[in-house]
Amino acid sequence: MRPGRRPYARAYRSRTRRLLERHLAAMLVTALVSMGALLLSYREVQISAGEMRARGAPAVQGVAATQLALLRAHKEAEGSMRSGIADVVGAGARYENQLAAADQGLSRLSDVQIDGDRGRGVLETVNGVLTSYSSSITPGAVKYVSDEPMQKEKFSEAETLLTRKGTGVVPRLDVLQGNQMTRIGTLTTMSPVQWSGWAVAELGLLAMVLITLSALWVLRTRCGHSLDLCLLVSLLAVVFLATGPLIATSITQDRLATARDGLIRIEQQAHDHRDLAGSQQAVTDMSTRVRAQLAAQGWQSGVYYGALAAGALIVLLPAVGMGRHLNADYWRTG
């Protein structure tokens, strides 16, 4: 060997070792950053879907159904008065049924409403006003059956408590519904932070692909190794991570958007007082469709756990594959 040849070979080996070590470090850092961003972003979407399913949709449907039940109860009470049967059944069986439905709706709303302490305050006030409403309509339906002026006055008081702008039961529920719909919009729309998380994840995975391909090229051209199985499997795991969770998130967002549109129609239907019975049925039908849109999908959890497994692979396999070559060719031999 000519003088100077050995130092050149030693320097070449040293540069190759450092190059492979930099590849390994870059792959590990990129894998950890991209996996953290991806799993967090995917989980956030699934949490939003779960909250929509468990609380958001039932809360919006509950407010609309309660409003319509109260308005229909009052209408049925007035109908009973006009029919002349109030002296037998009070405000009427239909009034009692609708009022009971409204009471049940308010009870459920206390558990599912999504406006926090402000929403709980609204519901407490609504329950108090409804007590005053009953105190007005019951005497009008029972005590003053034969006193038409007093009966009209009591019914007018009850209607005012129910519909007066700003302080009536229905307007207060409108305020609660508006706040809930704002929250629905937040749950069903990806925020700039979420978009940034996905951008970091996808760019990180793209970088991971490029670094892995570069490492395979270095191993082949500088070290004379054939394609490394660990790095190839890691490459496949990266491709899955870059596509699988993203497709699943896109599907989930489409379902959330469709459910949000259905809830908007439910809110609008609650303001259609021309046919209260028809509006109630429409709210029920649309609620069924919304629940179907939000029904939990088993494959969504499968994608999440698959992403966890793939994430472990893209961290462990490069360490195993690159570490094996570095140890055999450089570290062990000094």
Number of domains composing the chain:
1
Between 150 and 289, name the one with better pLDDT: 289
Q: Kindly state the average pLDDT of the residues 299-327.
A: 86
Instruction: Give the pLDDT band of residue 74 (cuts 50, 70, 90).
Output: confident
Band of the pLDDT at 272, cuts 50, 70, 90? confident
Share of the chain above pLDDT 70, in %: 86
296 CB contacts (<8 Å, ≥6 apart)? 50, 53
**Helix spans in the chain (H):** 5-51, 57-83, 86-89, 93-112, 116-141, 148-163, 169-187, 192-221, 229-269, 276-294, 298-326
Residue span of the structural domain in which 236 resides: 5-331
**pLDDT score at 331:** 67
Interaxial angle between packed helices 298-326 and 192-221, expressed in degrees from 0 to 180 and rounded to the nearest 10: 30
